[in-house]
Amino acid sequence: MAMAMARLVRQICAALALFCVSLVTGDDPYRFYTWTVTYGTISPLGVPQQVILVNGQFPGPSLDVVTNDNLVLNLINKLDEPFLLTWNGIKQRKNSWQDGVLGTNCPIPPNSNYTYIFQPKDQIGSFTYFPSTALHKAAGGYGALNVYQRPGIPIPYPPPAGEFTLLIGDWFKTSHKTSRQTLDSGRSLPFPDGVIVNGQGHATFTGDQGKTYMFRISNVGLSTSLNFRIQGHTLKLVEVEGSHTVQNIYDSLDVHVGQSITVLVTLNQPPKDYYIVASTRFTKTVLTATAALHYSNSHTPVSGPLPAGPTIEVDWSIKQARTYRWNLTANAARPNPQGSFHYGKITPSRTIVLANAAPLINGKQRYAVNGVSFINADTPLKLADYFNIPGVFRTDSMQTSPSGGSPSIATSVIQASLHDFIEIVFQNNENTIQSWHLDGYDFWVVGYGNGQWTPASRSSYNLVDTLTRHTAQVYPNSWTSIYMSLDNQGMWNVRSAIWERQYLGQQFYLRVWNPVQSLANEYSIPSNALLCGKAAGRHH
């Protein structure tokens, strides 16, 4: 009798365990991928050149996942150089181990592999991935990362009849290795050779007359802001980098380097083909790429002049940026209104002012933040932090406001406390537009303004319904101000999304820290973590 009872208890426990597992996997399923990175020869602008392929594709495959999916992605590096992918805009909650930049990860050696394991936790929207190493981004290796809402959580618009992903960006015919040699020698890259859409000079997107389609648009280029528009059609903005927006209607939209937007387009015109246009902004020479919006019942090819867009007008772009508003009544990735945590009612505990500059250091072109030009260490900063390895980085090498003095080179880290609420001001005293990205976070873009930021500039902030995003533009001789809730412990890259500037030092790391070590704050080091530099041979 006792044995039978024990057997029954074991069966009940086993059934409960299976039930719990099914609940977990039912809510947060695992998705497994194997990606192989190789070189290939393609002609994006009509000239054969070496590009980086992911599973033989350029651009790489789209990662189409659902909020909170567990992604297990085995990346096999068949290049002749170490390689990493970073997941642009994915917060990597408590998990900077998976961020895929040289401050957090050892690069994957040639003919080796690394398995990323991460969740797009409580996020929905249009994002991207791309290489973070050795100017590989100039050769491609990028793709879309689209995160869909979970079943039962409504989105604030009717489901579209279909959707299209458009990866737009400037492109250089020069190989990434030659471009890297140019930068290493202390010279700047030349003006881009063209603009491409989904890796080519011309693409076609087909839809049915009368239906509404979603366009996910990301600027994956190296250096140039772009304006996006569709001949004869308007764009309804519905989402920006994970934020549902007030659904304003636009004739065209600026998309700066590293940014993503999502629009709805209704095919409400006579059946024919229409130009889709992406053209450069703030450049003396305007480069243009076209694609075609093809009505399925069309027998008429694209024709007529291209729809005109803005070219060098800065004020036009600032005014448009200020019209981006958060949809406070819509659900986010979780079933709660996006405005339930109100950023505008919190006083920041700290202000950090970051000024970009383009100094010559030792006769070579560099880029700097508050006078410090960043160089990568041989040991990822995250590993140095974890293993308490001294001499890899310092938290006092860069000031938290511009201080003048001679420019210097350092592996710069700013220290911050977990759960602080801070204000960051990006001050741009140069004549070129900047684009700033923060890994691990999104942030509220509370203000744009001309000239020098001062505390009095706060009177112009939008403290009601500005949206959150992960990449903010800073206009020439202007400032952009953001609020951030430091709720994600880790070592996080803060960088220029303009890749020449990032490569030559316009970046640093934000160490968001709590001295109490807890899995509630941060996950443990992955069992498969690659170890290199001074961390090689350590046990974890």
Summarised one tens digit per residue, pLDDT across range 384-401 is 999 999 999 999 999 999
DSSP 132-156: -STTGGGGB--EEEEEEPPTT---S
With bands split at pLDDT 50, 70 and 90, how would you rate the model's confidence at 4? Answer: very low
CA distance linking residue 1 with residue 344, whole number of Å: 66
* Per-residue model confidence as pLDDT tens digits over 302-323: 999 999 999 999 999 999 999 9
Residue 339 is predicted with a pLDDT of 58
pLDDT in tens, 509-533: 999 999 988 999 999 999 999 999 9
Amino acid 338: pLDDT:
63
Q: Do 474 and 480 form a contact (C-beta atoms < 8 A)?
A: yes
Q: What's the pLDDT at 441? A: 97
Q: What is the pLDDT of residues 262-284, one digit of tens each?
A: 999 999 999 999 999 999 999 99
**What are the tens digits of pLDDT across the range 76-119?**
999 999 999 999 999 999 999 999 999 999 999 999 999 999 99
Residues 121 and 153: their CA atoms lie apart, in Å, by: 15
Residue 271 near residue 209, CB atoms below 8 Å: yes
Say which residues have a Cβ less than 8 Å from residue 143's Cβ, sequence separation at least 6: 54, 57, 59, 60, 61, 62, 63, 128, 129, 130, 167
